[in-house]
Structure 1
């Protein structure tokens, strides 16, 4: 009787494991140049303790377009990329603070609340063209400055990191 019960439990656990969604934990390895590395308090990785993304992987999270003016550009610009929220959801980010790091090691802390709505955009293209390092690429963290007055402040301007290459998730 005990053997039968143990066998039933094992069978049940096996069926449950096979029916669990595997995609929540699987993140493919990049096949192109790595544009963004995320490390820290994340649940999903693809290179040890980090998650690395190439252009295609980022766009696979769901391309979003935002047209807005910035204090660094002339007139409205159309940015295409992925929301910080989509990235946070994909990696099951558990931290309270994000640290955005640029190629020149400029870093700024961003509260996780900025990733809880669809406002913050990890822009990869500007006006239909991939952004190069000399043009604030490969990634520029953009906010909808024209759509909401709260983003037209020194706080959000300082969070608009260009030449973004890494995000550290802090507890």
Structure 2
């Protein structure tokens, strides 16, 4: 007979294994051009002190899509990519704050909790096509603005970094 404490420990261990299963594949070394680097308070790595992703690695994570209005386009657009929470889980993020850095060094801060509260997508496709740099690509943090009135505000629009190149976790 096992004790309640032993059972809870076993459940916790199994949950951890299941939760990190997709991350094992995502943490292979990139074979293509690195498009995203996650660094800072992380517990996983595939390069010294960081996790590097190429586009194929991001595409290998579970993909999610939604169509939403944004302040940057006149018509609703469909965004597809892994959930931000899945990317953070692959890196073993342990911090509370994300500093998203764009190719032009624009920085946006967002709480890690946003990825749990909302299905935030790290969009790699817009309207089912890769996004070129001139059109906010190759990666774009997108909230599902149409699903919650609170998301239709400057606070969340400012957290939506496009031309994303890195996530620094504090």
Give TM-score scaled by structure 1 length.
0.83
The separation in 2 between residues aligned to 1:89 and 1:47, in whole angstroms, is: 16
Tell me if 1:52 matches 2:49: no
Corresponding residue pairs, total: 151
CA contact (8 A) 1:85 1:117 kept: no
Tell me if 1:36 matches 2:36: yes
Relative to total residues, which structure has the larger helix share, 1 or 2? 2
Cα displacement string for residues 3-57 of structure 1 (whole angstroms, at most 9, x for unaligned residues): xxxxxxxxxxxxxxxxx89966672111111110100011111110010001110
- Report deviation, 1:117: 3.7
Question: Aligned with 1:114: secondary structure?
Answer: helix
Flag structure 1 segments of 5+ consecutive residues without an equivalent.
1-19
Give TM-score scaled by structure 2 length.
0.83
- Give the aligned partner of residue 90 of structure 2: 90
Q: Which runs of 4+ in 1 moved over 2 A?
A: 20-26
The separation in 1 between residues aligned to 2:134 and 2:90, in whole angstroms, is: 29
Flag structure 2 segments of 5+ consecutive residues without an equivalent.
1-16
- Give the aligned partner of residue 76 of structure 2: 76
Within a 5 Å distance, the mapping from 1:101-140 to structure 2 comes to 101-140=101-140
| 1:25/1:126 CA distance change after superposition, 3 Å | closer
Tell me if 1:99 matches 2:96: no
